[in-house]
Amino acid sequence: MTDNIAFQDVRSLKSMIRGGQITPSELVGTFAERIERHNGLSKAFITTTIDAARKEAATVSRGDLDRSPFAGIPYASKDLFDVEGVLTTAGSKVFHDRVAKADAYAVAKLRSAQAISLGKTNLHEFAYGATGENEVYGTSVNAYDPMRLAGGSSSGSAAAVAFGLVPAALGTDTGGSVRAPAALNGLVGLKPTIGRVPTSGVVPYCWTLDHVGLMTRTIADCADLLGIVAGYDANDSASVNRPVDNYAEALNQEIAGLRVGIPLNFYYDRADDEILAALERVKEYLVSCGAQLVPVTFPDMEHSRTVSLTVQMPEALSAHSAYLQERGELYGADFRAGLALGQCILAEHYVKAKRFVEVYRQETNKLFDEVDLILTPATPEIAQKIGTVTVRRNGIDEAVGNAITRYTTFFNMTGHPALTMPCGMHTEGLPIALQLVGRYFDEKTVLRTAHAIERSERFSIPRPNVDR
């Protein structure tokens, strides 16, 4: 019974609470026991807050349950999010003593909704990396195969949900750091429109590309969670002051008549054949639902990763300049090398990269004159084995982190909402996932299309056998 509860989605857990089958306090106890049992392998959590969670759970009354879809529900947040009175390590020795004085915006919204934080999850140091490998706190592993990567940088958030340690988690996404690990672990991962969820109280990596992201088991849970954390905060310069949609309300709307863009360039290149075959099945299903497939051509993507890195590294260097002077010896070799790269990028290069970003945004926006959303694979590869350095595909070697995020990075530069979700299983026993991208602030269309796909049993996947 305990293990079965751990893999329920949030809406099912709320139904169980309302039905008297379990209380919020018992739910916290269930997940606390699982964290104790599985964290040694999963390396999902850096810090747990179980005692505080038990106290919070005891205050949730039956009357509170209708106030919020997450009232009485445990969750976790990537250890970049400040939680008042709790250590924020950012996955690094550099922040070994950084105790937060206040909640991050998203954490505060969840606290107001009476969601219950169970702790802070592991990550690639300071979110610099797509593999999730961490020398200090260990490397989070894939729930379907612990010999494989969970993906990063929000590796611990993915592992926490996939191992059944929490039903939902917050992450950050600068180049795919929520969507890619969600995809590799059979979860839903959403990067909303830039500015839709404030980044206030989140340790920055790259201010102009950072997004708060969400990981859940189902599309409905993702819609409910987005409805809580979306909003406006004047303390976040990227935050946009516009009304928050009722995302859950739109889920059951038909998708007949939707125009789905299918990229002719880049997004179906150099990918695993089984991933491409799974996407063909998704296309066929969407057509059967009355959607129309429309070919689209993206701007030249040859230098897009270079453009992204040329923006990322100077901004990361700027964020860490003071810490480098005071605690430079505490940085891991991986991130220190990245910051050294940032020192070699001239202002001229940064400005040119920002101009490229603006062109990418304008050209991608034009595509949405022709289509309502765009469908791509989430990743070109399934989860790779821990320690893998390069992936070879079609005679070309690619760094494993670049491969993991090859299809996601671009949409951090454009800022469009993008969601990944499972759509099948590979013969190697690992999840395959798709990506849906929508117009600015049109998360509703992305979510309802994803919900329509999720309803079809042909795209369901088994849960990982982590309790074997």
Residues facing residue 434 across a β-bridge: 377, 421
For tokens 């909704």, what's the residue? 113
Grouping H, G, I as helix, E, B as strand and the rest as coil, residue 153 is: coil
**Rounded to the nearest 10 degrees, what angle do helices 273-288 and 443-455 cross at?**
100
Gap between the Cα atoms of 455 and 108, Å rounded: 32
Q: Catalytic one among 153, 154, 304, 308?
A: 153
Q: Catalytic one among 14, 78, 109, 120?
A: 78
For tokens 């059967």, what's the residue? 288
C-beta separation of 116 from 28 below 8 A? yes
Whether 78 sits among the annotated catalytic residues: the reply is yes
Gap between the Cα atoms of 346 and 223, Å rounded: 41
Phi, psi of 149 (to 5 degrees): -70, 145
C-beta separation of 81 from 201 below 8 A? yes
Q: Catalytic one among 117, 140, 177, 308?
A: 177
Whether 153 sits among the annotated catalytic residues: the reply is yes
Whether 308 sits among the annotated catalytic residues: the reply is no
Gap between the Cα atoms of 154 and 448, Å rounded: 25
Dihedral (C-alpha) 112, 116, 118, 121: value to the nearest 10 degrees? -50
Sequential DSSP letters for 210-276: -EEEEEESSHHHHHHHHHHH----TTSTT----PPP-TGGGTTS--TT-EEEEESSSTTSS--HHHH
**Rounded to the nearest 10 degrees, what angle do helices 219-229 and 10-18 cross at?**
80
C-beta separation of 291 from 258 below 8 A? yes
For tokens 């924020």, what's the residue? 88
Catalytically active residues are: 78, 153, 177
